[in-house]
Amino acid sequence: MVIEKVINNNIISAHDETGGEVVVMGRGIGYARRPGQDVDETRVEKVFHIKSRTVAEQFKELLAHMPLEHVQISNDIISYAKKNLNLKLNQSIYVTLTDHINFTIERYNQGIKPQNALLWDIKRFYNQEYQLGKYALKIMKERLHLELPDDEAGFIALHIVNAEYGTKLGDALKFPNLLKDIMSIVSKELGIELDEESLHYERFVTHVKFLVQRIYRQELLGNEDELAEMMEKKYQKEYSCSKKIADYIEKETGTRISKEEIAYLAIHIKRVTIIEK
């Protein structure tokens, strides 16, 4: 690899063997180095292959004045999410999470500990991401001796959800309440108490999360009238409930979901009612 730019003593941008631009991290890798020189491979700790030029530039700008330890923590969290949890994350996570981790550490050192009003619902609907947030807290405690509260695990979880869905953080902040309200609509419309320990409930929540993901990615299923008509006749109460959820989603997101989406939603609602009766 050949150095293109020295960002700081520990971060450089370079061109790899294929000519592609990469961001390279390693302690002392940029010290007393100049563009055009070969990268000291013995100092390489991580090579970031970021496809989006915009994201790559934002990442380089972000790292210019950031402690290496903060970058390493963020990278280890992302690597753990990909390898151990098999999460597919938008590359913007390198910018958003790294910036957040750095800000969190600075905020903690100033004695600022914000509360997370969404924490309970994040645990309830995005438990995997929340557990990743707990893992992040464990790393920061081990390496930086910081005793961060569970609220922070929730904030980190939302950044992960945001990267999974490919949305803005402002949208990700809406997701826990969106799911909670949808569950409330089902309980109210069908007069049941949902069993949050049941497999059918877990599958229903998963289906709704993927539905929300498709909405924000603009990948909704089409309008299959035959399936919708069959579901409306066979499961009238569940289909009516599904339509109310569709109306709520449109109100909150500005997106009208298709008849096929409403039909599949009704199928999952029916499964939840079967387990409840």
Cα–Cα distances in angstroms (integers) from residue 16 to residues 1, 2, 58, 114, in the given order: 5, 7, 20, 42
Residue keyed to tokens 């700008």: 61
- Averaged pLDDT, 208-216: 89
Beta bridge partners of 15: 2, 21
Q: Please tell me whether residues 55 and 81 are part of one structural domain.
A: no
* pLDDT score for 277: 44
Residue that terminates a domain, selected from 46, 65, 84: 65
Name the domain count of the chain.
3
Reduced to 3 states (helix: H, G, I; strand: E, B; else coil), residue 12 is strand
The phi and psi torsions of 11 (rounded to 5 degrees) equal -135, 130
Q: Please tell me whether residues 159 and 247 are part of one structural domain.
A: no
Domain region containing 106: 66-169
* pLDDT score for 275: 52
HSE, CB side, 13 Å, CA atoms: give it for residue 225.
Answer: 0
Beta bridge partners of 46: 25
Write the CATH number for 52.
Answer: 2.30.24.10
* pLDDT score for 218: 83
Condensed to tens digits (0 to 9), the pLDDT of residues 236-257 reads 999 999 999 999 999 999 999 9
Among 51-60, 173-182, 216-225, the least confident range:
216-225
Q: Please tell me whether residues 264 and 189 are part of one structural domain.
A: yes
Reduced to 3 states (helix: H, G, I; strand: E, B; else coil), residue 83 is helix
Question: Tokens standing for 65?
Answer: 């004045």
CB atoms < 10 A from the CB of 25, how many? 21
* pLDDT score for 276: 47
Condensed to tens digits (0 to 9), the pLDDT of residues 23-38 reads 999 999 999 999 999 9
pLDDT at 212 over 70: yes
Residue-averaged pLDDT of the chain: 91
* Residue 129, C-beta contacts closer than 8 angstroms, at least 6 positions apart: 122, 156, 157, 158, 160, 161, 164
* pLDDT score for 228: 80
Say which residue, 226 or 210, is predicted with more confidence. 210
Q: Please tell me whether residues 156 and 86 are part of one structural domain.
A: yes
- Averaged pLDDT, 156-169: 90
Q: Please tell me whether residues 99 and 113 are part of one structural domain.
A: yes
- Burial (CB < 10 A; 0-12, 13-18, 19+), residue 147, is exposed
Write the CATH number for 213.
Answer: 1.10.1790.10
* Residue 147, C-beta contacts closer than 8 angstroms, at least 6 positions apart: 141
Condensed to tens digits (0 to 9), the pLDDT of residues 140-157 reads 999 999 999 999 999 999
Q: Please tell me whether residues 181 and 265 are part of one structural domain.
A: yes
Q: Please tell me whether residues 132 and 209 are part of one structural domain.
A: no
Q: Please tell me whether residues 77 and 153 are part of one structural domain.
A: yes
Provide the b/e sequence for 54-83 (b: ≥16 CB within 10 Å): ebbebbbebbeebebbbbbbbbebbeebee
In this prediction, residue 163 has a pLDDT band, given cuts at 50, 70 and 90, of: very high
In this prediction, residue 223 has a pLDDT band, given cuts at 50, 70 and 90, of: low
Q: Please tell me whether residues 195 and 162 are part of one structural domain.
A: no
pLDDT at 88 over 70: yes
